[in-house]
Amino acid sequence: MKELTWPTLENLVLPVKALFTGYLLVVGLGLLMAGGQIMLTHGMADGKFGLSMDDLVYSYYGNREGSKLEAKLNGSMKDYAPAENKLEMIKWARAGAPEAEWESKIKPVTDQYCVACHANMPGLVNVGDKDTMIKVAEIDHGASVTTLTRVSHIHLFGISFIFFFVGLIFSFATGFSPITKALLIFTPFLFLILDIAAWWLTKMVPGFAWLVMIGGFGYSLASTVMIFSSLYQMCVKPFMAKKA
């Protein structure tokens, strides 16, 4: 029986190299954008730029000393309204969000600075609605179970497809032992499961926030190694061999 041989990235025909290269470049850029989005959302949960343990605790467990409204106004939304208006909304939330002050004090501020985005863009909380704002002004218990369920299944399905194709392309790479290659291909899936599980654990016990950081770092590092190794062997190595 003739032994099956696995093709290598260097020896792939040009159209397949173009397909793989285009995919890896777009996915790599997408991962960078995802990192930026995390910095601008979760990374601003404590009001300071940069991802920290406090950010992760506030995002999943919540900041139970204040409201989501206050956390957002001091964090990712802090540049979208003047300081005096933000302070007025924070005081309103700390006072228990009295309905009597909605029409006279709070609604004019949200109408001027918030509803242009928050009443028209899908996925954003409609802060122009009184009942919605009263909910946002309650003590912050972090991500809801409904939100975690929705985001978890989206990440598990969507990101696993990315890792599948990155791993498939990397399986054609040379210069790695079979066990090393197998571990690199499997690692992103393992850390993705750890990352999602850590969201739920942090929702219950804030001390698990460090697992979220480890999960995200683990699959990002393994994916980066596979993407750069694959691009090097498809695009750079053959060119250098011809030049030599």
Q: Where are the domains of the chain?
A: 14-42+143-243, 66-136
| Averaged pLDDT for residues 15-33 | 95
Cα distances (Å, whole numbers) of residue 116 to 144, 147, 196: 25, 24, 33
Distance (Å, rounded) from C-alpha 11 to C-alpha 173?
10
15, pLDDT greater than 90? yes
Name the residue type at position 85: N
pLDDT score at 125: 77
The pLDDT confidence band at residue 4, using thresholds 50, 70 and 90, is low
Contact indicator for 161, 188 with CB cutoff of 8 Å: no
CA distance 116 to 124: 11
Q: Which of 2-11, 60-69, 213-222 has the highest mean pLDDT?
A: 213-222
Whether the model clears a pTM of 0.85, i.e. scores above it, the answer is no
The pLDDT score that the predictor gives to residue 244 is: 59
The pLDDT value given to residue 20: 96
**How does residue 1 score in pLDDT terms, banded at 50, 70 and 90?**
very low
Percent of the residues in the chain that have a pLDDT greater than 70, as a whole number: 92
Nearest to 12 by CA among 168, 243, 176: 168
Name the burial class of residue 189, with classes exposed (0-12), middle (13-18) and buried (19+) by CB atoms within 10 angstroms of its CB.
middle
Contact 200, 56 (CB under 8 A): no
Range list of H helices, the chain: 14-40, 53-60, 68-74, 83-94, 107-113, 115-118, 130-136, 145-170, 178-204, 209-231, 237-243
Residue 138 has pLDDT above 80, yes or no: no
Q: Token pair 């995200």 is at which residue?
A: 216
Task: For residue 114, name the pLDDT band (cuts at 50, 70, 90).
Answer: confident
Q: How many CA atoms lie within 13 A of 148 on its CB side?
A: 18
Report, as an integer, the average pLDDT of 83-101: 84
Centre a 10 Å sphere on the Cβ of residue 136 and count the other Cβ atoms it contains.
Answer: 21
Residue 43 has pLDDT above 70, yes or no: no
Q: Which of 215, 219, 209 is nearest to 55 (CA)?
A: 209
Q: How far does the chain reach from its first CA to its final CA, in angstroms?
A: 38
- Mean pLDDT lowest for which of 17-26, 81-90, 152-161, 201-210? 81-90
Q: Kindly state the tokens that stand for 233.
A: 């062997």
pLDDT at 175 over 60: yes
Mean pLDDT, rounded, of the chain = 85
